[in-house]
Amino acid sequence: MKYLLIVLSFLILDISSFSQNKNQIVQSYFDLTEKDNFSQLHHGPVLASCTNQKQTTVFFVSTLDTITDEFYVQGVLYNHQSESYTEFGQFDFDPSFGKGVISVFFENVDYDSENEMLVIVEKSCRTFFTDGGYAGIKAWYQTRVFDFNAVNEVIVEYELLGEILTINAPKKMGTKIEEELIGRESGKDLNEILGITNNAEAIRKRIKYLKSKSLLGSNKPN
């Protein structure tokens, strides 16, 4: 029992130390870029779980552009070995019109030995009935796929691969009678029926399906 308590205490200390270290990594980025007054942590930080990226932390920052008065989200990769930051994957972001980054995870999308980083972005879009009526604002998802090497600090996005992995509900919702029928289903059940890729589990199912049909290919698309 005493041994178990000692092990647990070390685990708690390790988790606490790791949490403090992540916070320090983010704050140091703000200090270096002098973005404190206009930026805030948007998502993360998370440790990269790629085969050769064990000492890499990834997080996303939302920033207000003081010239255009609009927000954008910027991905940041921190290399623990070189203690350097690399920015990537910037996109426009309206906090009143979507959540932005909702999930960051790592999966082997193709057939090499390395995992890619997948980022799910939630935005919003206006939808309409096929008879012309307005159906309201619905969540709209985008999958972004990044391949990176922390040693060389090179990050490449594969946009086509992200499009292949993404499934959204149609922007035209059908007739109002059909919409009422759809409305009787819970949102979660409906997303599963349609295969909407709004979380890591749904993306992994999509990857498994595409690989079973040999639709992802052996090489990443440009």
Residue-wise over 17-50: b if at least 16 C-beta within 10 A, else e? Answer: eeeeebeebbeebbeebeeeeebebbbbbbbbeb
Distance CA 98, CA 35 (A): 23
Contact yes or no for 199/119 (Cβ under 8 A): no
Paired residues of 149 in beta bridges: 154
Residue identified by tokens 């292949």 is 164
The verdict on pTM exceeding 0.85 is no
Which positions ≥6 away from 36 have C-beta within 8 Å?
30
Task: Give the start-to-end residue ranges of the domains of the chain.
Answer: 2-212
3-state SS, residue 191? helix
Please state the φ and ψ torsions of residue 13, each to the nearest 5 degrees.
-65, -40
Please provide the size of the chain in residues: 222
Nearest residue to 149 (alpha-carbon basis) of 117, 119, 101: 117
Paired residues of 84 in beta bridges: 79
Tell which phi-psi region holds residue 76, choosing left (phi > 0), alpha (psi between -120 and 50) or beta: beta
User: Mean pLDDT for each 10-residue chunk of the chain (222 residues)?
Assistant: 42 47 90 78 84 75 87 91 89 87 91 86 83 79 84 78 88 64 60 82 92 72 51
